[in-house]
């Protein structure tokens, strides 16, 4: 989730080959209610969470885990 608009999300998804939806909170309503921080979840094909990273994601670690899936 970010405050970026839908077109920015679509462009980001195309550039990075993402096949999952990105959530836009353009007005910041959700961010104001919950004060979220940056969290990255790696979810496998079964829908199980394989990894959670708070803050800036550790890309090499995520890629390593993806190779194992």
| Residue 31 pLDDT | 86
Same domain as 32, residue 2: yes
Q: How many domains does the chain have?
A: 2
Residue 29: give the domain boundaries: 1-36
pLDDT one digit per residue (tens) for the chain, 69 residues: 888 999 999 999 999 999 888 989 988 898 889 887 889 999 999 999 999 999 998 999 999 998 988
- For the chain, list the strands marked E by DSSP: 39-43, 49-54
Same domain as 31, residue 42: no
| Residue 17 pLDDT | 93
| Residue 15 pLDDT | 95
Same domain as 44, residue 63: yes
Same domain as 26, residue 1: yes
């Amino acid at each position: 989730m970010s405050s970026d608009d839908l077109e920015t999300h679509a462009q980001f998804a195309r550039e990075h080959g993402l096949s999952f939806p990105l959530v836009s909170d353009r007005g910041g309503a959700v961010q104001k209610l919950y004060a979220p921080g940056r969290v990255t979840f790696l979810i496998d094909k079964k829908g199980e969470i394989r990894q959670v990273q708070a803050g800036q994601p550790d890309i090499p670690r995520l890629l390593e885990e993806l190779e194992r899936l």
